[in-house]
Structure formats: structure tokens, C-alpha cells
Structure 1
Amino acid sequence: MLLYAYRRYVFTLAVLLTYFLYAMLLTGRGMTQPHFMVDQTASNVKQASGLSLRKVSDFLAGRKYVVLTFDDGPYGYGVDEQIMATLQKHHARAMFFLVCSHINDANRDVLGKLEGAGHLIGNHSYDHLKLATLTSRPELQHEIDGCSQRLAQLTGRRPYYFRPPFGMTSPLVTQLAQAAGMKQLLWNANSQDSWMTQPEQILHWSLEQTEDQSVLLLHEKPATAAVLDDLLTRLEQRGFQFVLPDQLSDNTAIN
């Protein structure tokens, strides 16, 4: 009788302990928030090392992560603010790769609004040229470092991330970006909004291509702003959370 009671007690305790551990893993409660950095391909992000328990929790919960990036801003005419309002609604932060020649007196205040909302400002070149086709080193330096200097004048800090226009890079472009103190970031999920104008098309391709730890390419355009609320809602329903890569050293280990 005593042996039966003991076994029952041990079984009950094991069930309760298992339930507690599963609930903890499922919710991730009490765990350090994950940190991400750009991987060696410069096209997606990976969780930094030392987060094995978090990864188990994410797997059990179906929790996934995506970096939202917006190119070619500032757009002006209220589009930037519309995108920011939608991001705020979903408690999401994003990366905005700005073209310095697009910044003018009418929209320069957008930069302060972006930083104030916790978004990251990146360098998308000065004039949005195909940098890999340029052979003049001074011209490339103007496009890359010149834009960083301009952003520093406006925000008080140089950008850490650089994205070449059209994703067209080269060893020299990469070298000059690194010399300017930046890490290159491309993408591995494309909304196709650079040429598609229908919101439903943008929604389809964004959902089709976004996977766990993707970097999603979007643009500051009216059609993208129009579909963004629906897109973020659908991604959340699929278990996605919106994250930013850390500004970490290349020597930081990745699992």
C-alpha cells in the first residue's frame, strides 16, 4: 500500500514538474530576450550563442522571428508616418535604409521620429546608384561614406548597417562599407514591392518568402504602407515576432 502511494506521489510530482517545464518553455517566461546578429551571408540573422533553452522554447511554442527592413526612404507625404504608426500598433521595430539624396527640408524630421520610436536607420547610399558598376573610388566613397556623414550630421551618429541599392555589391563596395564602420545587410525574403503595385501581391510574396530569422525587404511606398497592417497581423498569426539585429562585433559567436 505504501509502495503504491509512493509511486503515485512520484508520478504526480513528475507530471506536475513536466507540465511546469513545458509551460515555461512554451511561454519563455523569465528567459533573457534573444539577441540576433547578421550571419556570414549578410542575408539573414541568427540567434547569438548561449540561448539553447530559448531555442527549445521557441520550437515548442512555434515562435519565429523576422527583421523588417524598409528601403528608399524618406518618402514624404505622410507615408513614413503611416508606416511608423502601423509598426507602433504591432509593437514592432524595423530598420530603415535611407537614401541621402531623398532627405530634404520637408522630410528631414522623419529621421528623429524613426529614432524616437526605436527604429534603426541604415545607409542606402547617397544617390541610389548601382554601386557595383562604379569604378571610381572617390565616387564610391561619396555614395557610401558621404551618406554616413550626412546621416551623422542629422542624427548625431553614424549608421552601423549598410545596404547597397538593388542588392548589388562587390568586394570594393564591401571594403569601403567596412572602412566606414558599417556591416552590410542584404535580405533573403522579398516582398516584391519595388515593382508590384497591388497590395495583395505584396502581401502574397511577403508571406510566401518569410521564414524564421528572415530579413524581409520592403520599401517606403504607399502600396506597402496600405498593406502593412494586414501583413504584420498575418505574420503574428503565424508565430512571428519582429526583431532587430544587434550591433555586435564580427567576433561574436553564433550557434
Structure 2
Amino acid sequence: MFRNKPGRRRGPAVAILAAASLILALGGCGVDAVTPGEARGEVADSDGKGGAGAAGAVDCGKAKCIALTFDAGPGKDTPRLLDILKEKKVPATFFLLGKKHVDRYPQVVKRIADEGHEVANHTWTHRILTDLEADQVRDELSRTQEAIQRITGRKPTLMRPPQGRTDDMVSEVSRELGLAQILWSVTAKDYATTDSALIHQRTVDGAEGDGIILLHDIYDGTVPAVPGIIDELKRRGFTFVTVPQLLAPGKAEPGTVYRP
């Protein structure tokens, strides 16, 4: 099981914050996970070739790649975040929350997609999926799938379960909906602090090759920390990629859990 969520802003985020207080150990999600290297290796084993696939794509088997991901948006600060990513020429993966986020900021969702970032699913209301019945899980995911498709013309292929909690039932519903599950290797716990310097330090301290960074673009301290995080990790030789790029030439298989 995993975690993520909330911090300073209250209101609709209170339930998420309560969930976030359950800080769970990495690796306890209850189902087997595939690493990015294993995803790439499966393709190499099957066709005898490695590499990045498409011409000009990053070969994360050779480069020190890292994926920057943001949960639970979009929010009021997301346009500023997109400005930063555009200026820094960094792609990211956005796991979007449906209710009061996707439905409140449709133009921001469209901009995320139009600017080449990966648009992914973080459920409709952030309910803990392992506490639900299969039909409820299907509703949480499919409502966000449909809302994003209406805006971008494309359904996501990736999802992140709230708190990283998943099990065989969640995996099966995800498979039915064409969604792979993406966990993470480092989080700044930005739901619990507005200290941008601390968010920066926690992120860069935990960064590693083939890593997946979890941040949230809905908390006050996060977006101001992003420029410094990007600059420092670039200085350390990291190449920023989306989650699909991190797995390439492998592809995220529906229902499978991926975790560095």
C-alpha cells in the first residue's frame, strides 16, 4: 500500500488529508509490481532489441531518466506550473482528479494535453479503491476517463490509485478499463508542508535513475519548488520523461502495477 495527498488547503481536501496521514511503507500494495527496467527488458527479451523505440526518443536504458508526476489537480496553480515546464522544456505526467478538478478546469486539462504532457487518471473523488466494491471502483475510474476524453479526445491509459492502495480486484477493474497502475519511488510529502525549500530537498534527496517523483500541484508550497527541483536534477545528469517514455520501448499493460 501507498499514500499521497493533502495539506494546507482545507475544504474539499479534508478527506484527502485525513487519508494522507496514513503514511504507509513502500512495497506494501499487495500485488506484484513491475519496474521500469523490467518493462523495457521484456521488449528487449522478446525481439532482441533494446533502445527507445521511436526515432529521437530518449533511451532510458542508457540515460538517467526520471519521471515528474503531479497528483490531484488541476488546480489554480497548474497554469503557472505549465508555464514552468514549458520554459524548462520538461514533460510531466498529470494524474487528474475528476470532481472539482477536471470538471472545474477543463481548459487547463486541454492545455496539459496540448502541450505534450501525459494525462492520467486519479479517480473521480479520491476514494480508497481497496475499500470499495468492483462496481464502485469502476465508477470512480470510468467517470474520470469519460470526462478527460470529452476534453482531450483521448482516454487515459494510466491511473494512480489514491494512497497507492491496490489489490487484485482493483487491478482487474483497471485492466477492464485499459488502465495501468503507476506508483512512485519518491514523494516530498508536500501535502503536509508549505515549505518549498523542504519540498525541494526531499525530492532531490530521493531522486534516482528510473525514478518516479510524486508531487501535487494543488498545494501552496509545491509549484514554487519545481524550478529548483528541475534545475538541480538536470545538474545531476537526470533526463526528465513522461511515465510512458520511462517504460519505452515497453508499454504500460492494463491492470499491471508499475513501481521503481
TM-score normalized with structure 2 length: 0.72
2:199 paired residue number:
202
Distance across 1 between alignment mates of 2:61 and 2:155: 36
Aligned-pair CA distance for 1:222: 2.6
Structure 1 segment 69-148 matched on structure 2, within 5 A: 69-76=69-76, 79-103=77-101, 106-134=104-132, 136-148=133-145
Measured at CA, do residues 57 and 243 of structure 1 come closer, stay the same or move farther in structure 2, by a change above 3 Å?
A: closer
1:45 equivalent in alignment to 2:45: no
Distance across 2 between alignment mates of 1:213 and 1:100: 28
One-letter code aligned to 2:71:
D
Structure 1 segment 173-184 matched on structure 2, within 5 A: 173-184=170-181
Aligned-pair CA distance for 1:250: 4.1
Measured at CA, do residues 57 and 172 of structure 1 come closer, stay the same or move farther in structure 2, by a change above 3 Å?
A: closer
Measured at CA, do residues 100 and 237 of structure 1 come closer, stay the same or move farther in structure 2, by a change above 3 Å?
A: same
One-letter code aligned to 1:66:
I
1:15 paired residue number:
none
Aligned-pair CA distance for 1:146: 2.1
* 8 Å CA contact 2:137, 2:170 repeated in 1: yes
Aligned-pair CA distance for 1:194: 2.0
1:228-251 deviation per Cα after TM superposition (whole angstroms, max 9, x unaligned): 001100000100110123382649
Distance across 2 between alignment mates of 1:156 and 1:200: 38
Unaligned runs of 5+ in 1: 1-39
Residues matched between the structures, number? 204
1:199-235 deviation per Cα after TM superposition (whole angstroms, max 9, x unaligned): 1111111011110010110111231101100110000
Q: Which stretch shows the higher mean deviation, 228-237 or 216-225?
A: 216-225
Please state whether the residue corresponding to 1:122 is helix, strand or coil: strand
2:251 paired residue number:
248
Distance across 2 between alignment mates of 1:175 and 1:56: 29
Distance across 2 between alignment mates of 1:56 and 1:181: 24
Compute the RMSD of aligned alpha carbons.
2.5
Unaligned runs of 5+ in 2: 1-31, 53-57, 245-249, 255-260
2:68 paired residue number:
68
Distance across 2 between alignment mates of 1:51 and 1:91: 26
* 8 Å CA contact 1:190, 1:206 repeated in 2: yes
* Runs of 4+ with deviation above 4 angstroms: 52-58
* 8 Å CA contact 2:128, 2:165 repeated in 1: yes
Distance across 2 between alignment mates of 1:129 and 1:250: 23
* 8 Å CA contact 1:92, 1:242 repeated in 2: yes
Percent identical residues: 25
* 8 Å CA contact 1:145, 1:177 repeated in 2: no
1:149 paired residue number:
146
1:64-104 deviation per Cα after TM superposition (whole angstroms, max 9, x unaligned): 1100100000112xx10111111112111000000100236
Q: 1:238 aligns with which of 236, 239, 246?
A: 236
Please state whether the residue corresponding to 1:231 is helix, strand or coil: helix
Aligned-pair CA distance for 1:196: 2.1
Measured at CA, do residues 131 and 80 of structure 1 come closer, stay the same or move farther in structure 2, by a change above 3 Å?
A: same
Structure 1 segment 2-13 matched on structure 2, within 5 A: none
Larger radius of gyration: 1
Please state whether the residue corresponding to 1:181 is helix, strand or coil: coil
